[in-house]
Chain A
Amino acid sequence: MKKGIYRNIALVTTAFAVAVITMMGVSWWQMRKATPLKTEVMETLRQLSDTNADNETLAEQVRELDLLSRKAYFTQESQLKKGGWILCAMAAVIAFSLRMYYKDTKQLPDKDLDPIDEWLTKSRARRYLGWGVGAIVAIGLIVVTMNGVKERKLAEVNRSTGQQVNKLADDSPESEPTTELSSDSLEGDRSTDQQAGRLADQQKSDSLEEKSDSLKVLAPPPLPKLTWNGFRGTGGTGRSAARGLPTSWNLGNGKNILWQTPVPRHGYNSPVIHGRNIFITGADSEKRELYCFDLWTGELLWTAAATGIAGSPTQMPDVSADTGLAASTVATNGKQVCAIFATGDILCTDMEGKRLWAKNLGVPDNHYGFASSPLMYGNTLIIQYDNNDASRLIALSASSGRELWSKSRKDKIAWSSPILAKVGSQQAVIVMGNPAVTAYKVSDGEELWRVECLSGEVGASPCTADGIIYAASEYATCVAIRAADGETLWEAGDCLPECSSPVATKDKLYVATSYGAVCAYDAATGEVVKQHELTTPFYSSPVIADGKVWIFSNSGKCYIFSAGKDFRLITSFDTGEQTFATPAFSDSMMVVRSDKSLYAIKKK
């Protein structure tokens, strides 16, 4: 009878324990990823409260709901803990009851599982041990061998693919890229994306064909479709439709490095890509040169020297060490490539390096050195020539060097570079200076609007997305201006760049500062939605490609952020070489200029 009671207690307690475990399991599952403060009601109330800052009732409601959510969560957590203790008590009751139930039940001798003779048992144990260890070692070796074989195969495939690519590169005829990206920011992005989609499809089918017909005659070489025609890309948007870029590389062991080559002469200008050509400039007290490198091999294809230009100074102007004589990035339209130096010399060549024309605009009166990069729009070469003595915006014919128009500017000296944007239905060039952001008609230089909002030394360049112009400069402001009419939408002063230029998407504006902060502004409100304190200065400008924001610090550390909603840091790593220039992008390739070399990154 007594035993029966213990048995029943054990059974009932077990049933209760199972029920408690089930409830706790459900509760734990609910709590696992619960974010009680991110409910729809809470978000709505927050937004209402944000837009009605003076409404104390709303704020109080948010606080009450916040407190309630916290209370609910922690009460649930506390209950879970209590449940644990109850479960322990139940386990103790079950153990005690069962112990009492079996109290008088002795473990009586039974038939042995093992042979009576211990020697036979030991022999079995030896066998089991041998089999067990042997099996584990064998499985381990098989796994290791298979991994090794897989890696070797992969290496072989990579090697043969590399050879094929090199062969293609050697055999390919020079040809123009099929299309140039539209300079219009929004539409340009769309067309770029569509183009990239087509490219991806094309490459996918090419890749499939290559796989199936690897031994057949190789298809014609794919020339890069994407161009990067000037400082921060075509039109100066800072965005590229490049895809499949590697997020890590190593200059030491060559991981994902297609090639690396030294640059003949120093310069802070950024690379420009058109077709198979990469253009950069370099200068010192002896020479000022324009270089063209091969995109696939890094080979220096030609050099054009800015020599014998009428009006060119015999003595180099005084420039600061961190500006140099070749700070301006070249610009190209696929037919001409034009470079400007701190001497005021402009040199334009064709794509083969043959000089078309050269002239001197007058030695700039510039205490750091001329740094603004020219902008190319069709056959128009636009130069923001803001200096101490006079500021001008000059438009030249890229093919002949003839002056198309020139506008005197009221603004003080600046080091900013112009960008292209649509103002209403007109193509405009947007210029940042001190104190104004100004829009000029590309065709004749007519001023379309002018917003005075800046001050100090303006080094960063504007950017645009979705019909909004963004301009930001250290010690001044960050401003969003509607491109259509020049109306200021918002101003902010939280995170301002010195040399690095911002880049924008429809939703966000990304800024890298010289004091190490990298920020994402809400494009609609101007609120800094996320800030990373990276404690390293940035002169290079952030660019958006492959769904990511790419930024190089001066020390050469590459930071890659997601360009999505959360602007989170995906990765960062030291490249080992100081970097001040902004990288350039081709289809699935990035070209970086460091202070020592020029190198191309491509997923291997």
Chain B
Amino acid sequence: MPEFSFAATILPAVARFPKPDFTSGYQYPTIVHSVPWETFWSWVDIGLLVVMMSLMAWAVHRRRSRGVVVGVSIVSVLYFGFFRTGCVCSVGSIQNVVLALTDSGYRLPITVLLIFLLPLVFALFFGRVFCAGVCPMGALQELVNIRGWRLSRAVSWALGFIPWVYLAFAILYAATRSQFIICRFDPFVGIFRMGGDMGMIIFGVLLLILSVFVGRPFCRFLCPYGVLLGVVSRVARRKVEVTDSKCINCRLCHHACPVDAIRQPNEAKVAERRTTGARRVALYLLLLPLLTVGGGLLLRSQSDTLSMAHRDVWLYAQLTADEQPDVLTAEVEAFHEMGRSMDELEASVQEVKKSYRLWSALAGGLIGFVLGCKLIRLSLKRTRKTYEVDPSACVACGKCFNYCPLKKSTISNT
């Protein structure tokens, strides 16, 4: 898809400004494109990523310092955001990894693999320190977050399903070599680059305005990488804790958390009979394979429609449409000009559709499976005596540290 965006940007510019009609014998200079020093900067990215995540791990687990988190966030926004223009990021690297796994012709750069793996490795040891402020998108939302308006937890939990759907579609479109939708619909990259699709820039600005009042809406309800980090963080060696002293249940941290990651004490005094709950869990466990298969079949049945996201399928549809548009798209014009045959295109379309049938079934299956797991998780009762951090939801922003009345004693103890 990047080439589509490129064409869409360049073509109107060329139409606006054709080369001047010099008739004075002027010789156009040969255009020389210098090779960017990209490898160097990629390794600088990796180095900084490790340093910043280490710093975050230290700040969150040893110092319990919010100030370091803010400092690193500023650096991240400036470097990874505005200087490196938000690319390659760990969130988008999911697609590169999927593409490398499914397409033997695609060589995954080692730096991109590291950008994908390192935050997951850190999450395995220290929780979501990447989200804390190393990710420029999370950092930007964190820096503008002033107020802490709360959402109903029931709504948040339900909305937490969206990133999984997004992830499933990102995998589907990457595996079928159609589009990198995470990059295409990145709401902040337009801000970092000071340009791009106006719709996405407006969406990014609206998300930032929302972030002023509500903690990290993108991270919680959209980010597909966040859900992977959340899963890994559940089994993290060191989970984020507000204090290592005994919690006095003051409720201050619970209300301070911008992402609603602190679970309150729960004595499970429910009016529901124990057997009813158990039956429900059993039902959902039985439903899990059905939801997985059903989701797979459902999405597979729409694979032809979904495959329109692939450039060849889209092109073929344009070329074979009864009603031809008045203005030819750049892709259709390129097809005609390059003399590619329809047979060749048709063969490619058949191949793509075949691939879509497989991957849409898998993506649908993933969505169905996650839905089943979510329902099961929401049917389990847990007793808690004190306030606890949910490691999968906590983004390690450290806001709660300053609220904990036990903080000072904690530091002195360490």
Q: Chain A: residues with CB nearer than 8 A to chain B?
A: 28, 34-37, 59, 62-63, 66-67, 70, 73, 81, 84-85, 88, 91, 95, 98-99, 102, 106-110, 113-114, 116-130, 132-133, 137, 140, 144, 246-248, 250, 255-256, 532-536, 557, 559-560, 568-574, 576, 603
Let me know if A122 and B379 touch, CB within 8 A. yes
Contacting residues, chain B, for A130 (C-beta < 8 A): 375
Let me know if B320 and A573 touch, CB within 8 A. yes
B194 at the interface (CB under 8 A from A): yes
Let me know if B336 and A569 touch, CB within 8 A. yes
**CB-nearest residue of chain A to B321:** A248
Let me know if A574 and B154 touch, CB within 8 A. no
Of listed A119, A128, A568, residue having the most chain B CB within 10 A: A119
Contacting residues, chain A, for B336 (C-beta < 8 A): 532, 534, 559, 569, 571-572
Let me know if B20 and A84 touch, CB within 8 A. no
Chain B 232-261 against A: per-residue CB contact (8 Å), 1 yes, 0 no? 000000000000000000011011100000
Chain B proximity of A242: nearest CB distance (Å): 16
Chain B 333-348 against A: per-residue CB contact (8 Å), 1 yes, 0 no? 1011101011100000
Say whether, besides A91-B144, A107-B255, A248-B320, A118 and B379 are in contact (CB < 8 Å). no
- Name the contact of B16 in the complex, choosing from A37, A120, A125, A570 (C-beta under 8 A): A37
Chain A proximity of B272: nearest CB distance (Å): 7
CA distance A119 to B270 in the complex (A): 7
Contacting residues, chain A, for B21 (C-beta < 8 A): 62
- Interface segment, one of B111-119, B145-153, B217-225: B145-153
Let me know if A113 and B328 touch, CB within 8 A. no
CA distance A66 to B157 in the complex (A): 59
Q: Chain B: residues with CB nearer than 8 A to chain A?
A: 15-18, 20-24, 82, 143-144, 146-148, 150-155, 157-158, 161, 191, 194-195, 198, 208, 212, 251-252, 254-256, 263-264, 266, 268-270, 272, 298, 301-302, 319-324, 328, 332-333, 335-337, 339, 341-343, 371, 374-375, 378-379, 381-382, 403
5 contacts between A and B (CB under 8 A): A88-B191, A109-B251, A118-B268, A129-B157, A248-B320
Let me know if B371 and A133 touch, CB within 8 A. yes
Let me know if B158 and A132 touch, CB within 8 A. yes
CA distance A576 to B24 in the complex (A): 48
Say whether, besides A117-B266, A133-B371, A574-B342, A109 and B254 are in contact (CB < 8 Å). yes
Let me know if A84 and B194 touch, CB within 8 A. yes
CA distance A73 to B16 in the complex (A): 10
Let me know if B251 and A121 touch, CB within 8 A. no
Let me know if B17 and A144 touch, CB within 8 A. no
CA distance A133 to B82 in the complex (A): 37
CA distance A568 to B270 in the complex (A): 71
Let me know if A121 and B154 touch, CB within 8 A. yes
Let me know if A95 and B143 touch, CB within 8 A. yes
Let me know if B17 and A126 touch, CB within 8 A. no
Let me know if B158 and A128 touch, CB within 8 A. yes
**CB-nearest residue of chain A to B367:** A133
Chain B proximity of A156: nearest CB distance (Å): 18
Let me know if A34 and B161 touch, CB within 8 A. no
Let me know if B161 and A133 touch, CB within 8 A. yes
Chain B proximity of A531: nearest CB distance (Å): 11
Contacting residues, chain A, for B322 (C-beta < 8 A): 246-248, 256, 603
**CB-nearest residue of chain A to B344:** A574
Let me know if A109 and B328 touch, CB within 8 A. no
18 new A-B contacts at CB < 8 Å, known A63-B20, A81-B194, A560-B324? A35-B15, A37-B17, A37-B18, A59-B24, A81-B195, A95-B212, A119-B272, A119-B381, A121-B153, A125-B154, A128-B155, A129-B374, A247-B322, A568-B328, A571-B324, A571-B332, A572-B335, A574-B341
